Structure 1
Amino acid sequence: MGKTLFDKVWDAHVVKQIDGGIDVLYIDRHLIHEVTSPQAFSELETRNLPLFRKEKMVATPDHNIPTKDQHLPIKDALSKHQVDRLLENCAKYDVELYGLGHPFQGIVHVIGPELGITLPGRTMVCGDSHTSTHGAFGAIAFGIGTSQVAQVMATQCLLQSKPKTMRITIDGELNKGVLAKDVILHIIAELTAAGGTGYFIEYAGAAIRSLSMEARMTVCNMSIEMGARGGMIAPDETTFDYIEGREFTPKGEAFEQAVAYWKTLHSDADAVFDQEYHFDAADIEPMITYGTNPGMGIKIKGNIPERLAASSQDSFHKSLDYMGFLPGESLMGKEINHVFIGSCTNSRIEDLRIVADYVKGKKKAAHVQAMIVPGSKQVEKQAIAEGLDLILKEAGFELREPGCSACLGMNDDKVPAGAYCVSTSNRNFEGRQGPGARTLLASPLVAAVTAVQGKIVDITEFLN
C-alpha cells in the first residue's frame, strides 16, 4: 500500500519507536517568540541542561509588541519583560534573534517561509498553535506547549503519537471574489470547529493547486481552527518557484538536488486516508463568521442558522447573545466600526496588494477605524517600495509596523468592548481582540470592501 504525504515526512523523522505507539520524532526547525519561550529557557537552567542544537532555532518577538514607535522602549511592563527575557536568553544561549528593528523581524509564521527557513519535507514546531501555516510547503508543522518547547531545546526531538490522516479535496474553479480565507472558512463551517480533531489534514484538488503559496499558507494556518493537529499541501512548481533564491534556501546544485527530493513528496495514488472529504469550488462564496468559534461561518449574503446541529442550543444562543445577533438574521447592512487586516493568516504582501487594489481611489467610511499590519519588516519594506503605503494612507487606512497586533488582546491594538470588527485573523473567541470585542472573521477583500462601505455588504456587487 502506498504512503500519504504525511506518512512519508513523518516516517523519515522517526528516531525511535517506543512501546505504546509513541514515536521519538526529530525536529528540523524550532521557531520561538517572547511568550512561550521564557519558561522553557528557565527549565533548561533549573535542570542544568544545555541547548542541544542552537543552529536549528530562530527567535523573533511578535505577539505582544507594539505596532507603533517600535524604535522606542516598550511601555507595557509585561510586554517589555517578555521581550527583554527573549533578548537575554538568545544572547546567553547564542540563538539567532531577529529583534525589533531587525530587517528580518516579524510574525514567526510569516518570516519562516519568506526567509526560506520553511522547506518541504521538514518537521517544524513552535510554541504557537498556528505553526500549521508552514504545512503549505509540504512540511509537518504543529504547535507545542511550553514543556515541549523545553524538550525540543534539550533534545531536538519530541515524544509524539502519530495522528490519523484526512484528505480534503476541492475540485473546480473558485468563484469571483473568493479567496483562500473563504475556502478555509467554508470548510470549517461544513466540518465544524471540531471536525478535524485527531487528524493531520492534506488539502488537495484543482482549486488548491491553483492557489499561490501565500494563499496556501492561509488555508493551512487555519487547520487548527477545526481541531486538526496540522495541515499540509504537496509541494509543486508553485512551491519551488516561491522558495528559490530566498535567504536560507539551498543554492545552485544543492537547490536542484533538493527539488528532486521534494518532487517525491506527494501522496501515492494508492495511499489510504483515515477520512476523506470532497468539496466543489463552485459552492464556495465569500464568507463571514457570526459567532464565537471559527466554525460559526456563513456565506456573506446568507443568514445565521436557526440552530447549530453541532452545538448545544445553550452555547449557540450564548454565542449569539455575546455577538448581539439573532437566529435566522441576515448580516447585510450591519454597521462595522473596526476593520483589522493582519495576523499570521493574512498579513503577507499578497494580502496587502489585494486590499490596496480595491481601495485605490476610494475612501474608507468616516466611522470606520481601518488598521492594516504587515506580517514582517520585509512585507512592510516591499509594500512601501510598491507604493501600497501611499494608496492605503490616501484611502484612510493606518499602516502599522509588524506584529501580531489586534489578532489577540495581548498588546495595545485592542477592539473596544461591544464594537464589531471585521478581521482577517483566525479566531473569533469571546474577548479575543479585547474584552467584550465582537469579531467577524473574513478575507482581506471582504475586510477592504467593508471598510469602504462601512457595513457588511455582498462584496460581489462591488467588484469590477
Structure 2
Amino acid sequence: MGKTLVEKIWDAHVVKRQEGFPDILYIDTHLIHEVTSPQAFDGLRKRGLPVLRPQQTVATADHNVPTLNQHLPIKEELSRYQVDMLTKNCAEFGIELYGLGHPYQGIVHVIGPELGVTLPGKTMVCGDSHTSTHGAFGAIAFGIGTSQVEQVFATQCLLQQKPKTMKIEVNGELEKGVGAKDIILYIIAKISAAGGTGYFIEYAGSAIRSLSMEARMTICNMSIEMGARGGLIAPDQITFDYVNGREFAPKGEEWERSLAYWKTLYSDDDAEFDSVLTFDAANIQPMITYGTNPGMGMGITEQIPTTVTQPESERPSYQKALDYMGFQDGEEVIGKPIDYVFIGSCTNSRIEDLREVAAFVQGKQKASNVEVWIVPGSKQVEAQAKLEGIDKVFESAGFQLREPGCSACLGMNEDKIPAGKYCVSTSNRNFEGRQGPNARTLLVSPLTAAAAAVTGKIVDVRELI
C-alpha cells in the first residue's frame, strides 16, 4: 500500500520507533522567538547543556515588538525585557538572531519561507501554534510548548505520536473577490473549530493547486484553527519556483539533488487517509466570522445562525459569544459600522496581501470612522512595499503602514483594539480579548478588510470590484 505525504516525511525523520511509545522524531529546523524561548534557555542552563545544533535554529523578535519607532528603545517593560533576553540568550548559545533593526527581522512564519529556510520535506517546529504555515511547502511543521522547545534545543528531536491523516479537497474555480482566506474560513465553518482534531491535513484539489505560494501559506496557517496538528500541500512547480534563488535555499548541484527528492513528495494514488472531505470552490463567497472562535463564520451575505439550531450542550456558549460580539440571532452583518481595520499577522501580511489591498484602495480614501493599521510581516516585505510605491498608496488613502511584528493579532504588545470596538481583521483568531480586553474581532480576507476600510462598514467586496 502507498503512503500519504505526511507518512513519507514522518517516516523519513523517525530516529527510533518502539511499539507502545511515541516516535523519536528528528527536527530539521527550529524556529524561535522572544515569548516561548526564555524558560527553555533557562532549563538548558540549569542542566549545563548547550544547544545541540544552533545552526539549525532560526531566531527573530516578533510577538512583543512595537510596530512604530523600532529604532528607539522599547517603552513597554515586559516587551523590552523579553526582547533583551532573546538577544542575550542567542548570544550565549551561539544562535543567529534576526532582531529589531536586522534586514531579515519579521514574523517567524513570514521570514522562514522568504529566506529559503522553509523547504519541502523538512520537519519544522516553533513555540507558536501557527507553525503549520510552513506546511504549504510540503513540510511537516507544527507548534510546540516551551518544555518541547527545550527538548529540541538539547537533542534536535521530539517525542511525538504519529498523527492521523485527513485529506481536504477543494475543486473548481473561485469567484472573483474570493481568495485563500475565504477558503480556509469556509472549511473551518463547515467542520467546526474542532473538526480537524488529531489530524495532519493535506489540502488538495484544483482550487488549491491554482493558488500562489503565499495563498497556500494562508491556508496552512489556519489548520490549527480547526484543531489540526498541522496542514500541508504537496510541492509542485509553483513551490520550486518560489524557493529557487532565495537566500538560504540550496544552490547548484545541491539544488538539483534537492529538487529530485522534492519531486517524490506527494501522496501515492493508493495511499489511504483516515478521513477525506471534499468541497466545491463555487460555493465559497467572501467569509466573515461573527463569534469568538474561527468556526463561527459564514458567507458575508448570510444571516447569523440562531441559537436554537445549535446542539443543546453548546447553546449557552454560543449565546455567550453572540452577547460578547453584540450580535443577535438571525442578524445580517452587511452594513454594520466598524471601528478598526487590521491587515497583518502571519496569516495575511505578505507582499501579495499588501499588493492586493493597494490595488483595491488606489485612489480611494479610508472612511472617517475607521482607523486602519497595515503591518507588514517582515522588513523584506516592508522594503518591497516601499520599492513598489505601495506605501504611498496607503498614505494617500489614510492607512497607516507600520513596521513588522505580530501587532494587533494577539494584543500582547502595544497594538491593542479598545474595549467594545469592532475590528475587521486579517488575522487568524477571534477569541474573547484576543486583540485587546473586550475587543470584538471579525476575521476576513485582505480584500474584504480593504473594502471595510474605505466604506466604514461591513460590505460584500464583490459589489465593489
TM range, smaller chain: over 0.9
2:434 matched to which residue of 1? 432
1:417 matched to which residue of 2? 419
Rounded to whole Å, the distance in 2 between the matches of 1:454 and 1:113 is: 34
Rounded to whole Å, the distance in 1 between the matches of 2:369 and 2:396 is: 16
Q: Secondary structure in 2 aligned to 1:159?
A: strand
**Equivalent residue letter for 2:329:** P
2:310 matched to which residue of 1? 309
Rounded to whole Å, the distance in 2 between the matches of 1:172 and 1:100 is: 43
Tell which deviates more after alignment, 19-28 or 411-420: 19-28
How far has the Cα of 1:47 moved from its partner?
Answer: 1.3
Work out the percentage of aligned pairs sharing the same amino acid: 71
Q: How does 1:34-433 map to 2 (within 5 A)?
A: 34-307=34-307, 309=310, 312-433=314-435
Rounded to whole Å, the distance in 1 between the matches of 2:142 and 2:418 is: 32
Rounded to whole Å, the distance in 2 between the matches of 1:25 and 1:458 is: 46
**Equivalent residue letter for 1:309:** Q
2:2 matched to which residue of 1? 2
Rounded to whole Å, the distance in 1 between the matches of 2:281 and 2:408 is: 31
Tell which deviates more after alignment, 252-261 or 153-162: 252-261
**C-alpha contact 1:406 1:414 (8 A) present in aligned 2:** yes
Tell which deviates more after alignment, 158-167 or 46-55: 46-55
**Equivalent residue letter for 1:328:** G
**C-alpha contact 1:340 1:424 (8 A) present in aligned 2:** yes
Q: For structure 1, list consecutive stretches of 5 or more residues without a partner in the other structure.
A: none
Residues 182-219 of structure 1: CA distance to partner in whole angstroms, max 9, x if unpaired? Answer: 00000000000000000000000000000000000000
Q: Secondary structure in 2 aligned to 1:58?
A: strand
Tell which deviates more after alignment, 227-236 or 43-52: 43-52
1:26 matched to which residue of 2? 26
1:11 aligns with 2:11: yes
1:443 matched to which residue of 2? 445
Q: Secondary structure in 1 aligned to 2:17?
A: strand
The size of the alignment, in residue pairs, is: 463
Q: For structure 2, list consecutive stretches of 5 or more residues without a partner in the other structure.
A: none
Rounded to whole Å, the distance in 2 between the matches of 1:309 and 1:171 is: 29
**Equivalent residue letter for 1:330:** E
Instruction: Report the aligned-residue RMSD.
Output: 0.7
How far has the Cα of 1:405 moved from its partner?
Answer: 0.2
1:458 matched to which residue of 2? 460
How far has the Cα of 1:309 moved from its partner?
Answer: 3.2
Q: TM-score, normalised by structure 2?
A: 0.99
Q: Secondary structure in 2 aligned to 1:413?
A: coil
**C-alpha contact 1:18 1:24 (8 A) present in aligned 2:** no
Q: TM-score, normalised by structure 1?
A: 0.99
Residues 54-100 of structure 1: CA distance to partner in whole angstroms, max 9, x if unpaired? Answer: 11001000001000000000011100110000000000011010010
Q: Secondary structure in 2 aligned to 1:363?
A: coil
How far has the Cα of 1:264 moved from its partner?
Answer: 0.4
**Equivalent residue letter for 2:30:** H
How far has the Cα of 1:256 moved from its partner?
Answer: 1.7
How far has the Cα of 1:457 moved from its partner?
Answer: 1.1
Residues 370-423 of structure 1: CA distance to partner in whole angstroms, max 9, x if unpaired? Answer: 000000000000000000000011001000000000001100100000000000
Q: Secondary structure in 2 aligned to 1:65?
A: coil
